[in-house]
Amino acid sequence: MRLKSIKLAGFKSFVDPTTIHFPSNMCAVVGPNGCGKSNVIDAVRWVMGESSAKNLRGESMADVIFNGSVNRQPVGKASIELVFDNADGSVGGEYASYAEIAIRRLVVREGQSEYFLNGTRCRRRDITDIFLGTGLGPRSYAIIEQGMISRLIESKPEELRVFIEEAAGISKYKERRKETASRMRRTLENIERLTDLRDELERQLQHLQRQAQAAEKYTGFKVQERELKAQLQALQWQELDRQIKIAAQAIGELEVKLEAVHAEHQQVDTAIEQHRVDHTERTDVFNKVQATYYSLGSEVARIEQTIKHQQERGHQLSEDLVQTRANLGESESHLGDDRDKLTSWETEIATLAPELEMLQAVEEASAETLLQAEQAMHNWQHKWDEFNQHAAQPRQQSEVQQSRIQHVEQVLQRIQNRTRQLEEEKQGLASGAPANTEIDALGERLAQIELTMARLEERGETLVQTLATTRDTSTNHATTLNQVRSQLQQMRGRQASLEALQQAAMEDGNKAVGEWLQAQQIADKPRLLEQMQVDDGWQLAVETVLGDYLQAVCVDDIGQLGNLLGNLEQGQLLLVESTGNEQQSAQLLASKVRSDGRVGALLSGVRSADDLSQAMAQRSSLAPHESIITRDGVWLGPNWLRVTRLADERGGVIARQQELESLASGLASEELHETRLAQDLLESQNALTRLEDQRQDCQRELQASTRQHADASAQLSAHQAKIEQINARRERINTEIDESRGQFRQEQEALAESRQLLTAAIECMEADSQRREELLSTRDQTRGTLDSARQKARHDKDGSHQVAMRHQSLQTQLNAMRESIARTDRQVAQLRERRDSLSASLSENDNPLEELQAQLEEQLKLRLQAEGELGDARQLVADVDYLLREAEQRRTAIEHRAETVRTELEQQRIGNESLQVQRETIHKQLSASEHQLEDILQNMPEGANEPQWQHSLEQVANRITRLGPINLAAIDEYDLQSERKNYLDVQNEDLVTALETLESAIRKIDKETRNRFRDTFDKVNVSLQDLFPKVFGGGSAYLEMTGDDLLNTGITIMARPPGKKNSTIHLLSGGEKALTAIALVFSIFQLNPAPFCILDEVDAPLDDANTGRYVRLVKEMSDKVQFIFITHNKISMEMADQLMGVTMHEPGVSRLVSVDVEEAAELAAS
């Protein structure tokens, strides 16, 4: 099998359709940098299934499509086709009969990729299966680029193992083992799930048998219990009916009493309104007199403050003058002291200058002596380095030969062991071989089964995911639906209770008023309570202030109804009309209420406070007509306080109205939500049943296919492995034994040579010992002289430094003192100027005091007169305030009596409503249980009572309780679960059988993999030890396993070029690594040659000598392997039979020029 041609179209820089032919086994691709040579290799790797854009030198798979140039537009797709010559039948199986095989890959810019095999569309896996075991693939050892050289040599042991596996042809075994192991895991998971299900069913069946026996007793007791419950409920209904009649009579009496209190309350309200008008007029007079009094008081305070300020200013000027004189004397004293210190420091600086010059000269002499001693030490170190360099050569030679001797001895031992193993294997080799007639049929059957299994697995996974999603959805719907229904029930109960309370609280209690409203056709008009919204927390405060006005009827115009009030004979009528929306201050209670303007006038003059302490703080600032109320309903005036506490803290009519509106909105939303959830739950349950049936059918089909595949795969693998092993192994053993014996003789000769070289190196090392002692003695003397000079230089330097620091410190202090004296002179001048200024200001301060005293006396007389007028006005306001307060106290007492009667009336109504609800509930329960109340009451014996029936019901309930939990469907459920248990037992047996079959297949695959890997490793190792000296001109290299398990062990490579003893391969140069990689790859090729080998500038890091050896080796192997190589090296170009030049005359577009070297030579010769 060989690569015949490559057809490129739209791939990277090959935008035009281009065909590259490879007529010989030595084809070179040449051209300048950047012309697109490496795109040829990328094309081969891409067609073979490469899925990583990074390995194709791109960021995404769309980068392989021509992206345009200066003169060309981008194209929408790229296509590559590889044409192989399969005349020798290297590609086996169903393609062995094809003389030519074409593999094509097509990709569009949207990212869709398609594969074609001989023109037929196929999967990527079909392409990779063709090359399994041949050494070809997107990342195999048959495609070698410059970057792969370092990755190959520096790869991890597990990564290097992959190349040996590919050479051994066990890639297809690993793929089959992976698939088999995956099926085993799924089978084990299915067995575990089945075991759990079977155990659970067994426990359920034991319980169901006992439950069925108790079900019949339970049914009889339940019939008796239902009859007793119905009779007990009838007795309860009878008692509730009696209590309802008594409650209705009490409600009528309380309504009459409440109507009388309302009439008295109306009379008091009229008197209060008249007192408030008088109070407002007298308050206006009081405010004017008070404003005049406060104005005179402010003027008196201003004059007194001015007099006090003038007196304080004179006192302050006297103190400042005394302080200024003291500061002046102190500054003059400091100035004299500073001038004395300045003279002393100047004298000391003149004394230190000669001493500093002398010490600096001594320091320079010591430094020169130290420099000479350091130079002597440097000369000795140079001699010592030369000696070590000379003495290192024998030592290195000794280490190299010792390592070489150790390695050769190990190689000899391995050769002996390997030869003995081969002899034993040769003796025990089986002679029989199984027949080949069934292999073709098994292969076709296995492929068909795999297609079926892939389809079933994909369908099963999809069904499992859909089932899980649907089951979770159904559970969520059921949980949510139960929660919504529970919430709805609570909301409906709360709504009924609140509506009963609100209806009772809002009833007028006066039939005459109701008839009058009906006659004027305004009975259906909304009440004030329904037309306003109160901020949260302020409902009680607003309800306390408005009181009965909450029940006021909202009308458009009160004036139109004024002439009709004479028709109202008795009762309290409240009407309110809109006054238009007005902007309210945030401090007023009206700002807490949102309405159409009807509430502002009713809440006029009422302020708001968050708590009682805040209200008390504002009480002193209230005008006579104003008041303030807190959140919790405490209402205060300038001289009064009112507190109203409701019997039920939640019973405010405003709060109930707002809660009812919120409940109505919430109920509509929740009921719609309940309907949608019920529909969703029904749909998800139906879908769950359908999906479960489909999954079970798919699982049964997959289990059957798994058993068929395991049987066929095991038979096929065993047949193929046995035939290949028996036919080829005997011949390879004989060849390997002969090669091992020849290598054994060569290694013995190398061992003797290394021992001679080691002896010579040891003699040279002994001669260098005396010279080392002499140099060490000289070093000790030189080091002593250097230490003494270094110590003296350090001492002289410290002395000079101390004197220099003292000199510098004195100079710094001298400069600072001079600046300080200048500052003190300026300060003394400023203090003298300030002293003179203060003396002048003190004499000018005594003039305006007499004039201010006269103005003060006049203003005091005017304020005394205004104070008398203010007292008279305050007394008038107090008189009317007393009358108003007395009237409001009477109204408060009346409201309290009305509230007491209303509370008692509401409690009676609530109790009556509760009794009616209970009675109606019992009646509905009886109807729901298909019992007629009238029939039960007629059949009840005389003297029947509730305690007696309750006792009988408890006796029956105790009997039911003693039976324990009852499952009424136990018998039917027992039959159903028994049938399911039998079905699961059969499934479990099938899965266990399939698992045993898969385990047997894996054992066979592992055995064959170990044998093939061991055999291939040994052969590649021997071949590497033979090729490495040829490539390097000497040295040694070998492979080692990192573990004992042949299925998982990694592989490392040890290489030592001639004359080197490196501990790791990473210490080799770039060229040495490249030659080592070439030797390893060619060793693999000798064992399992790939159809072709592509080399991309592998010779780049090699010099001419190594390139020559590399070229000769490639030329030698080209007899069996087709080589396609990219190079810039002239030596490599000379060995090619065919040169293909890649040019880029048009920017960004690659073109091909092909030359046959032999034809060109003949043409040149002629």
Residues 1115/1082, Cβ–Cβ less than 8 Å: no
3-state helix, strand and coil shares in percent for the chain, rounded to the nearest 5: 70, 10, 20
Give the whole-angstrom CA distance, residue 18 versus residue 926: 93
State both tokens at 595.
């309405």
pLDDT, tens digit (0-9, with 9 covering 90-100), for 1116-1155: 888 888 889 898 888 888 888 888 889 888 888 888 887 6
The percentage of the chain sitting over the pLDDT mark of 70, rounded to a whole number, equals 86
User: What is residue 648's predicted lDDT score, i.e. its pLDDT?
Assistant: 46
Q: Is 530 helix (H, G, I), strand (E, B) or coil?
A: helix
Q: Average pLDDT in the 64-87 region?
A: 87
User: What is residue 650's predicted lDDT score, i.e. its pLDDT?
Assistant: 40
pTM greater than 0.85 = no
CA 25 to chain centre: 57
pLDDT, tens digit (0-9, with 9 covering 90-100), for 518-543: 777 677 777 777 767 787 778 778 87
Name the one residue in this structure whose structure tokens are 């028994």: 978
- pLDDT level of residue 719 (50, 70, 90 thresholds): low
- pLDDT level of residue 6 (50, 70, 90 thresholds): very high
User: What is residue 870's predicted lDDT score, i.e. its pLDDT?
Assistant: 78
User: What is residue 1160's predicted lDDT score, i.e. its pLDDT?
Assistant: 57
CA angle 994, 997, 1003 (to 5 degrees): 140
Whether 842 has a pLDDT exceeding 70, the answer reads: no
User: What is residue 104's predicted lDDT score, i.e. its pLDDT?
Assistant: 93
User: What is residue 92's predicted lDDT score, i.e. its pLDDT?
Assistant: 66
Residues 64/99, Cβ–Cβ less than 8 Å: no
Whether 256 has a pLDDT exceeding 60, the answer reads: yes
The percentage of the chain sitting over the pLDDT mark of 90, rounded to a whole number, equals 2
- pLDDT level of residue 116 (50, 70, 90 thresholds): very high
pLDDT, tens digit (0-9, with 9 covering 90-100), for 651-695: 566 666 667 777 777 878 877 887 888 788 778 777 877 887 787
State both tokens at 392.
């290192």
Whether 1094 has a pLDDT exceeding 80, the answer reads: yes
Q: Average pLDDT in the 853-881 region?
A: 78
Q: Average pLDDT in the 797-818 region?
A: 74
Cβ–Cβ contacts within 10 Å for residue 483, how many?
Answer: 11
Q: Average pLDDT in the 226-248 region?
A: 82
Whether 746 has a pLDDT exceeding 50, the answer reads: yes
HSE (side-chain half, CA atoms, 13 Å) at 1131: 17
Residues 604/280, Cβ–Cβ less than 8 Å: no
Residues 577/598, Cβ–Cβ less than 8 Å: yes
User: What is residue 83's predicted lDDT score, i.e. its pLDDT?
Assistant: 92
pLDDT, tens digit (0-9, with 9 covering 90-100), for 459-477: 777 877 787 788 778 778 7
Q: Average pLDDT in the 420-431 region?
A: 70
Cβ–Cβ contacts within 10 Å for residue 593, how many?
Answer: 24
Residues 721/497, Cβ–Cβ less than 8 Å: no
User: What is residue 502's predicted lDDT score, i.e. its pLDDT?
Assistant: 62
Whether 133 has a pLDDT exceeding 70, the answer reads: no
Give the whole-angstrom CA distance, residue 552 versus residue 562: 16
Q: Which residues make beta-bridge pairs with 554? A: 576
Q: Average pLDDT in the 700-720 region?
A: 70
Q: What backbone torsions phi and psi does residue 731 show, to the nearest 5 degrees?
A: -65, -40
User: What is residue 649's predicted lDDT score, i.e. its pLDDT?
Assistant: 40
User: What is residue 701's predicted lDDT score, i.e. its pLDDT?
Assistant: 80
pLDDT, tens digit (0-9, with 9 covering 90-100), for 363-390: 778 778 878 877 887 787 777 777 777 7
Strands 1036-1041 and 641-643: unpaired
Whether 293 has a pLDDT exceeding 90, the answer reads: no
Give the whole-angstrom CA distance, residue 124 versus residue 908: 87
User: What is residue 653's predicted lDDT score, i.e. its pLDDT?
Assistant: 67
Strands 606-609 and 627-630: parallel
List the one residue out of 1095, 1157, 1152, 1103 whose CA is nearest residue 1122.
1095
Q: Is 637 helix (H, G, I), strand (E, B) or coil?
A: coil
Q: Average pLDDT in the 561-587 region?
A: 69
State both tokens at 893.
């007492």
